[in-house]
Amino acid sequence: MATISAGDFRNGVTFEMDGKPMQVIEFQHVKPGKGAAFVRTKYRNVISGAIREESFNPTAKFEQAMVERKDAEYSYNDGELFYFMDPETFDMTPLNREVLGDAFKFVKENTPCKLLSFNGTVFGVELPNFVELEITETEPGVRGDTATNVMKPATVETGAEIKVPLFINTGDRIQIDTRTGEYLNRCK
C-alpha cells in the first residue's frame, strides 16, 4: 500500500490512522521562528463523521486510504432504507438515511450517483453537482414586480424547499446546485 507523509496533505486527501479512513478538510504548514515545522490538520473520520484537529510532524507517515467510488443509481426508498442499484450487476445496496447527507433531498429516483466505500463498507454517496427538478408549488409571480434579487419559497418534485426568483412558476423546470442547495437557472 502507498504511504503519504503529513507534508503532502492537501484538502480531500484520504489517509489511514489507527486503521480508520480519514479525509483532510483543512491543512496549514506552520514554520515557527523557533522549533520544528509542523502541519496543522483538520480531518474527518469518513465512516463516523467525527471531525478532529491535530498537528503532525511533516515527516509523519500514514497509509493512503483507498476509497472506492462505484457507479450506482438511486432506485427507491422503503421507510428509512434507500436502495441503490449497480448498473452492471443490478445488485441493490440499501443505505440508512444518516449516510446520505442533507443534499440528498434534491435526488429523485433513477438519478446516477457514486457509492463511496472503504474496505467494502459503504460510508457515503457522492451526488451529481447539479440536478434538474420541476417546481410543484410556489406563489405566482406578481406582474410588474421587477425588484432584483428578491426570492420566494418554492417546493420541488422531491419535496425539498428552495428559494427561487419571483419569475419562476409552478411547473417550471429549474437547475439546482446540490452542494449549496441554491437555484441556478430555469431550464428550457
Architecture of 3-64 per CATH?
Roll (2.30)
- Asked whether the CA dihedral 173, 177, 180, 184 is positive or negative, the reply is negative
Does the predicted model carry a pTM greater than 0.75? no
pLDDT value for 143: 63
pLDDT value for 159: 92
Q: Where are the domains of the chain?
A: 3-64, 67-126, 130-186
pLDDT value for 133: 95
pLDDT value for 49: 80
C-alpha cell at position 123: 460510508
pLDDT value for 80: 85
Q: Domain 130-186: give its CATH code.
A: 2.40.50.140
pLDDT value for 147: 63
Same topology between domain 67-126 and domain 130-186: yes
Q: Domain 67-126: give its CATH code.
A: 2.40.50.140
Q: In sequence order, what E strands does 111-156 have? A: 112-118, 121-126, 130-138, 151-156
Query: Cβ neighbours of residue 30 under 8 Å, at least 6 residues apart?
Result: 37, 38, 39, 40, 55
pLDDT value for 107: 92
Q: Which whole-number Å values give the CA distances from 121 to 23, 99, 114, 115, 176, in the listed order?
A: 16, 11, 14, 10, 30
Q: Where are the alpha helices (DSSP H) in the chain?
A: 97-100
Given a cut of 50, the residues of the chain with pLDDT beneath it are none
HEC profile of 37-65: CEEEEEEEECCCCCEEEEEECCCCEEEEC
